[in-house]
Every structure is written in C-alpha cells, then in structure tokens.
C-alpha cells in the first residue's frame, strides 16, 4: 500500500494517542463520524481543506498525516530487511506496517540501528586487535621462521642424496632459524604476559602500582632507614596517576615497612651471609611469620640476597595481588595463572609451608625453588569466616631439581595438553 494512502491510519493513530473519540474528532472537523470512519480505514482519500482541519484538531502538521513521520523509519525497515539475509515476503507492505504499527516498527528499527552500532564497535575492536603492531610483528616473525624451519627440516629429512654444499647451507639456515624462533617466541610470550614497559601499564591501578615498584627495583632505602613514610613515597610519584593506584602502592609499601622493621636490613644480611636462605630459620630468628620472611627476602637487593628472587601474592580467589617478576618464570599479565603453582597448594593448607621445585614449559627451561605459605589476613571473630592470602617466593637455580614439577604460566599459553588442571584450550602445541 502506498504511503499517501495511509493518511487515514495516521489520523486514527494520532487520535487514539490523544485519547479522542471518533465522534468528537468528526464533530470538530465538521464531518460525520461514519465518513471519518471510512477515512481512518483508508477507504476514502483525504486532502485539501479537510486534511488541514483534521491536522489542526489533532495538533500536527498536515504533512505528518499525509506523508507520515515514518519516511526515515521505512527506510530503516528496508535496511533491516535487506541486512537480515532472509527473504521478506511482505517487503512491499513495509509502508503499511509502519503506518499501522508505528510503535512496533520503531522497536524493530531501533533494534536494527543498535545492531549496526554494535557491529561497528565489534569491527573497530577486532580491527584494533588484529592490527596491533606489536602483536602482528611478533606473530608474523614466529610464523615465517617456523615456515623456514619446517621446509628446511623436511628437505634434510626427506631428501635422500643431498649435495654437501646444500646440506651445509640448510644446516646453517636451520641453526639460524631456531635461534630466531626462540627469540621471537620469547618476545611474543613477553608481550602477551609480562610486558615490562611502564608506559603500557598506565591506567590500571594494580599495574601502575607494580610499575612503581618495578621502577624502584622493589627496594626502598628510605623505608629501610626510616627517612620516609609510605605516604611520602607515593604522594608526588608521577607514575601513580590515580588515587586508587596511590592507595594500592601505599598499602604495599606499608607492608614493606612493617616487614623491614621486623627484619632490619643489616641483621638480615648477616644472618643470610652466615646461614644462607632458610626462611623458616629466619622466621624463628626474627620472631615473625613465614609470610613476612618470604616477602622480605624478595624485597632485598640482589647483592644482599646473593641471587634474583621473584614473588607473587594472591587472595583466596587466586587473583594475583602483587607480582615481582623473575627471569625465566612467566607470570600472566591478565587472567588467572597456572593452578599448579605451589602458591595455590599453600592456599588450601593455610600456615603449612610448601616448598616445590618447579619448571615451566620450554626445552631450556630452568628449575625454580618455590616456597609458599598462606596466612590469615586478620583474626576473625566467632562466626566470622577467615580471609586468607598466600605468598610464594620464587628462586631461580633450584637445587636437587632431579624431577621438578612441571607448571605453566596460564592455560592459554601453556603447551601441556594432557594436564588435569587445564581450564581452557591453549594456543600452543605440545613441545612448542
């Protein structure tokens, strides 16, 4: 039905919106109710003076009744029909639909417009992800090197008689490419999981706080000698851009200060120098808890501890609250970490010291000596559930690591397919 033949439907729609009876409108317009009834059911054409009169009574422009406000609406409905990808038998009656059911038509059109907006958003985000220059460069490098290795290795393995000149050249290429692959895959994992660049961490309070600790080497001499308070250190720190980040950093520094007071640097250094790194003995010597000792050891400069040390702290949900990275032990940047970490073993047995030698995936992966324990955050009252946190000290160069426990960083980038702890599929294959 053509749009201008629906003038009657629009008059009826408008009248009903105003709550006016047909007889009332007919009277005001100077026509009979039966004639108005015919007009409203599109059985009589209407125009000229009568249309202007009815429009005046209904309080709208005559064109609203003759052309309708639905020109744009009809156009959107046509787009919706075209985009739906299914044949719409009543496409030729779209004007009638919009005229008779303008409310429903608007719902449909609004839905279509919203879908279009969401599609644009998805496309933009997807495009941004797809064209992330760092990610694209790393992935391209890895795949190109893998292609070269695969082709070269196949030639060496499958070609029976290979001239010495070609064989030597392919061996050299294979060696070059395997080195490149290890470097580029490390760069890729680093990008995905533990990007150390402070600039990329801006905006997220926990990441800003971690970047602040990283920028200070996780060691704060001013707290060691008492010349500054945690508040002093965060107050004018430009890397902490928001109140949330300052608050997180201040809380972590307060913990640091408390641990430093319990185990003064000089006395701790003497103890380690004399007896080595023995957290349980140190807890006894300084009369403090094992969690404090593990945190304190990770906060010592490398020259005092005699080696590098990493640390992770999580709450009872397993969420990592604090991370001090250590070379060779990948920690996820986002999302949950590997449930096989001794940190989580400790979490289910509070106050029990857990010590495991672990190794992360990779052919040249080193073993780590991990010491963990969980502690109650605060003594609960009767009937109140306790809140626990767990801490894990990560020391490279595990001793007696004959059979270290394999662990990952997070399922997404862990190649161990047959793992009982797996939560989601990996993007890597076994023995990547």
Partner 1 sequence: MGRHVVLIEDEPNITEAIRFLLMRDGWSVDAHTDGATAVEVIRDAGPDLVILDLMLPGKSGLEIVRELRAEDGLQALPVLMLTARGQMRDREMAEKAGVTRFMTKPFSNAEVLTAVRDLHAQAGQG
Residues of this chain that interact with partner 1 (CB under 8 A) are 130, 139-140, 143-152, 154-155, 158-159, 166, 169-170, 173, 176-177
Of 177 and 259, the one with the shorter C-beta distance to partner 1 is: 177
Smallest gap from residue 279 Cβ to partner 1 (A): 46
DSSP string, 7-43: HHHHHHHHHHHHT--HHHHHHHHTS-HHHHHHHHTTS
Smallest gap from residue 415 Cβ to partner 1 (A): 16
Q: Write down how long the chain is.
A: 432
**DSSP strand pairing (354-360 vs 405-407):** parallel
Of 163 and 384, the one with the shorter C-beta distance to partner 1 is: 163
Gap between the Cα atoms of 43 and 34, Å rounded: 11
Smallest gap from residue 144 Cβ to partner 1 (A): 5
**DSSP strand pairing (320-324 vs 388-396):** unpaired
Gap between the Cα atoms of 296 and 356, Å rounded: 19
Smallest gap from residue 122 Cβ to partner 1 (A): 13
Of 175 and 278, the one with the shorter C-beta distance to partner 1 is: 175
Residue 290: name the closest of 397, 393, 196 by CA.
393
Q: Is the CB of residue 73 less than 8 Å from the CB of residue 44?
A: no
DSSP string, 71-96: HHHHHHHHHHHHHH-S--TTGGGHHH
Of 18 and 143, the one with the shorter C-beta distance to partner 1 is: 143
Q: Which two tokens stand for residue 61?
A: 């422009």
Gap between the Cα atoms of 151 and 143, Å rounded: 12
Of 139 and 222, the one with the shorter C-beta distance to partner 1 is: 139
Q: Is the CB of residue 412 less than 8 Å from the CB of residue 424?
A: yes
Q: Which two tokens stand for residue 131?
A: 């064209």
Please calculate the CA angle 102-66-113 and round it to the nearest 5 degrees: 35
Q: Is the CB of residue 88 less than 8 Å from the CB of residue 81?
A: yes
Smallest gap from residue 271 Cβ to partner 1 (A): 54
- The contacts of residue 138 (CB under 8 Å, 6+ apart) are 184, 187, 188, 191
Smallest gap from residue 166 Cβ to partner 1 (A): 6
Of 66 and 176, the one with the shorter C-beta distance to partner 1 is: 176
Of 137 and 204, the one with the shorter C-beta distance to partner 1 is: 137
Smallest gap from residue 156 Cβ to partner 1 (A): 10
Residue 329: name the closest of 280, 272, 396 by CA.
396
Smallest gap from residue 135 Cβ to partner 1 (A): 12
Of 183 and 231, the one with the shorter C-beta distance to partner 1 is: 183
């Amino acid at each position: 039905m053509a749009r201008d033949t629906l003038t009657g439907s629009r008059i009826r729609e408008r009248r009903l919106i105003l709550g006016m009876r047909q007889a009332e409108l007919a009277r005001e317009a100077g026509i009979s109710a039966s004639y108005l009834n015919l007009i409203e059911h599109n059985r009589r054409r209407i125009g000229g003076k009568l249309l202007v009169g009815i429009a005046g009574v209904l309080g709208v422009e005559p064109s609203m009744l003759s052309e309708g406000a639905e020109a744009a609406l009809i156009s959107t409905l046509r787009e919706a029909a075209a985009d739906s990808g299914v044949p719409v038998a009543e496409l030729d009656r779209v004007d009638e639909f919009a005229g008779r059911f303008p409310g429903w038509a608007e719902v449909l059109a609004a839905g279509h417009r919203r879908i279009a907006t969401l599609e644009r958003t998805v496309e933009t985000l997807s495009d941004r992800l797809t064209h992330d220059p760092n990610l694209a460069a790393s992935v391209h490098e890895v795949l190109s090197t893998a292609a070269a290795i695969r082709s070269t290795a196949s030639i060496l393995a499958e070609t029976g008689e290979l001239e010495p000149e070609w064989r030597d050249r392919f061996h050299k290429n294979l060696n070059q490419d395997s080195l490149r692959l290890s470097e580029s895959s490390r760069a890729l994992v680093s990008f995905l999981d533990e990007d150390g660049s402070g600039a990329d961490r801006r905006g997220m309070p926990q990441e800003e706080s971690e970047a602040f600790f990283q920028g200070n080497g996780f060691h704060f001499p001013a707290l060691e000698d008492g010349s500054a308070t945690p508040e002093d250190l965060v107050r004018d720190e430009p890397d902490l851009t928001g109140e949330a980040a300052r608050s997180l950093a201040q809380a972590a520094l307060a913990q640091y200060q408390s641990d430093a007071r319990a185990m003064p640097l000089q006395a701790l250094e003497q103890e380690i120098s004399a007896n080595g790194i023995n957290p349980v003995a140190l807890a006894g010597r300084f009369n403090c808890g094992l969690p404090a000792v593990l945190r304190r050891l990770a906060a010592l400069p490398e020259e005092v501890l005699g080696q590098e040390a990493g640390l992770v702290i999580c709450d009872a949900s397993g969420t990592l609250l604090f991370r001090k990275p250590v070379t060779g032990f990948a920690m996820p940047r986002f999302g949950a970490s590997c449930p096989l970490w001794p940190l989580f073993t400790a979490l289910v047995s509070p106050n029990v010291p857990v010590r495991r030698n672990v190794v992360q995936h990779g052919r040249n992966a080193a073993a780590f000596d991990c010491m963990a324990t969980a502690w109650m955050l605060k003594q609960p009252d009767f009937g109140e559930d306790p809140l626990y946190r767990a801490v894990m000290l990560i020391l490279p160069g595990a001793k007696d690591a004959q059979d270290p426990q394999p662990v990952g960083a997070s399922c997404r980038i862990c190649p161990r397919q047959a793992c009982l702890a797996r939560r989601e599929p990996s993007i890597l294959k076994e023995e990547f």
